[in-house]
């Protein structure tokens, strides 16, 4: 498995796999398989795939550590950019199908409806991370500032779940929300546990040296 992950074709294969949801949506739209309200189906589907991609990118580090497979890290940047890509499609779908690209109406809607506001806030954070995901940006920002900026992915996860929750609140349908919330809570909880564990190890080492 480790050799396969390092194969030159591994990244192109992952890239194509990440595009399959979009390919299906395009096919479904062309063949009239999106139901009675295709516009709503496209907006909802791109939002769902944004959440799924977010869960996937947050799962990379836990899987890398628990399976001792450091090769997984080489896919994290690409997966992160696909989170932004599907979020962008989600936003464009809302702006086009719901608002007709009327910027004044979009701005008013963002200010008026909380679930749109938190979704837009999550997109802005994703935009900042996508814009600084390249090596030149890392060098320009410095490692510490770059890491601090990209830790806002935790805020994106919280805002995304809140956006989904408020969107489903009108129909009192929280089943899927609970699933995504549980997955993201587990992934973020693992990171908190790892950070606490590292601090405890450092504290123990410092105490041992001081004796």
pLDDT of residue 3: 86
Spell out the alpha helix ranges (H) of 101-152.
Answer: 103-112, 114-131, 135-141, 143-150
Cβ pair 121, 91 in contact under 8 A: no
Residue keyed to tokens 């989170």:
83
3-class SS of residue 210: helix
Q: Copy the structure tokens of residue 12.
A: 């192109």
* HSE value, Cβ hemisphere, 13 Å, CA-based, for 148: 5
Cβ pair 5, 72 in contact under 8 A: yes
The pTM assigned to this predicted structure is 0.92
- Of 91, 11, 12, 100, the C-alpha closest to 49 is 91
Could you tell me which residues come within 8 angstroms of residue 144 by beta carbon, excluding any fewer than 6 positions away? none
Q: Copy the structure tokens of residue 182.
A: 């549980």
Residue keyed to tokens 């997984």:
72
pLDDT of residue 61: 92
Q: pLDDT digit of tens for each residue in the chain (211 aa)?
A: 788 888 999 999 999 999 999 999 999 999 999 988 999 999 999 999 999 999 999 999 999 999 999 999 999 999 999 999 999 999 999 999 999 999 999 999 999 999 999 999 999 999 999 999 988 988 898 988 999 999 899 899 999 999 999 988 877 778 889 999 999 999 989 988 988 888 888 777 777 676 6
Cα–Cα dist 65/55, whole Å: 16
pLDDT of residue 159: 95
Q: Copy the structure tokens of residue 196.
A: 């606490």
Cα–Cα dist 71/9, whole Å: 14
Query: Cα 89 vs. chain centroid, distance in angstroms?
Result: 13
Cα–Cα dist 117/122, whole Å: 9
**Helices 114-131 and 143-150: angle between axes, nearest 10 degrees:** 150
């Amino acid at each position: 498995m480790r050799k396969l992950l390092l194969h030159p074709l591994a990244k192109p294969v992952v890239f194509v796999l990440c595009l399959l949801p979009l390919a299906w949506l395009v096919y479904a739209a062309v063949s009239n398989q999106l139901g009675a309200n295709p516009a709503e189906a496209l907006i909802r589907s791109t939002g769902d795939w944004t959440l799924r991609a977010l869960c996937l990118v947050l799962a990379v580090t836990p899987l890398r550590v628990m399976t001792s497979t450091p090769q997984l890290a080489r896919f994290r940047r690409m997966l992160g950019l696909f989170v932004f890509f599907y979020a962008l499609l989600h936003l464009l779908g809302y702006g086009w199908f719901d608002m007709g690209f009327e910027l004044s109406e979009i701005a008013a809607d963002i200010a008026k409806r909380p679930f749109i506001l938190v979704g837009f806030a999550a997109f802005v954070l994703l935009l900042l991370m996508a814009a600084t995901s390249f090596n030149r940006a890392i060098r320009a920002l410095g490692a510490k500032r770059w890491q601090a900026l990209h830790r806002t992915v935790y805020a994106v996860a919280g805002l995304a779940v809140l956006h989904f929750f408020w969107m489903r609140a009108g129909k009192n349908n929280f089943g899927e929300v609970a699933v995504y919330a549980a997955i993201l809570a587990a992934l973020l909880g693992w990171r908190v546990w790892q950070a606490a564990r590292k601090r405890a190890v450092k504290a123990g080492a410092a105490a041992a040296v001081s004796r």
